[in-house]
Amino acid sequence: MKKIIILLTITLFFSCNSSAQKRESNTQNVFPVSKTEAEWKKELSSEAYYVLRQEGTERPFSSELNNEKREGTFHCAACETPLFKSEHKFDSGTGWPSFDREIEGNVAYGSDTKLGYSRDEEHCATCGGHLGHVFNDGPRKTTGKRHCINGVALKFVPTK
């Protein structure tokens, strides 16, 4: 009986640690803008560092960018890569800035299973900073996508 329990425990340990359960990570990739964690900590606010470098999430409805309505472009707060255009922003009611599409080539994707199921995670393609997630419940009249982005990961640059 002891051997069966030990065998089941070992099997359970390895099955919970299988490659299917592991999260794909862009942190091992080399990005055009690459800095040490100390450099990122020095340059970013504590909130921006938490979201962009530690893949955190800001509180919903906490970003001023959620209500930003001017024409312009939303850039990565870490490296200033243009990521989203204001014309593609919409009010999703979720509490985070939402867009129906990204600026093609400037956003990289990965898989996030931190909540126990797989979600499509978004990163800046230039510096690897975590932006948020993309879902298939956006406006049907356009792309059907909802890029749900942490406002602290963005910097708004108005059109002049």
- All domains of the chain, ordered by start, with CATH? 60-158 (2.170.150.20)
What is the rounded distance in angstroms from the CA atom of residue 85 to the CA atom of residue 100? 10
Catalytic residues: 148
What is the rounded distance in angstroms from the CA atom of residue 108 to the CA atom of residue 110? 7
What is the rounded distance in angstroms from the CA atom of residue 72 to the CA atom of residue 61? 21
pLDDT at 65: 97
Give the pLDDT of the chain (160 residues) as one tens digit per residue. Answer: 666 656 555 544 443 333 333 334 444 567 889 999 999 999 999 999 999 999 999 999 999 999 999 999 999 999 999 999 999 999 999 999 999 999 999 999 888 777 777 788 999 999 999 999 999 999 999 999 999 999 999 999 999 8
Q: What is the DSSP letter of 75?
A: E
pLDDT at 9: 54
Contacts 24+ apart (CB under 8 A), 118-126: 121/55, 122/147, 122/149, 123/26, 124/31, 124/52, 124/76, 124/78, 124/79, 124/81, 124/83, 124/153, 125/31, 125/81, 126/31, 126/32, 126/33, 126/76, 126/79, 126/81
pLDDT at 7: 56
pLDDT at 100: 96
What is the rounded distance in angstroms from the CA atom of residue 140 to the CA atom of residue 125? 26
What is the rounded distance in angstroms from the CA atom of residue 11 to the CA atom of residue 30? 35
Q: Taking the alpha carbons of 23, 102, 87, 52 in that order, is the dihedral positive or negative?
A: positive
The pTM of the full predicted model, rounded to 2 decimals, is 0.79
> Helix, strand, or coil here: 112?
strand
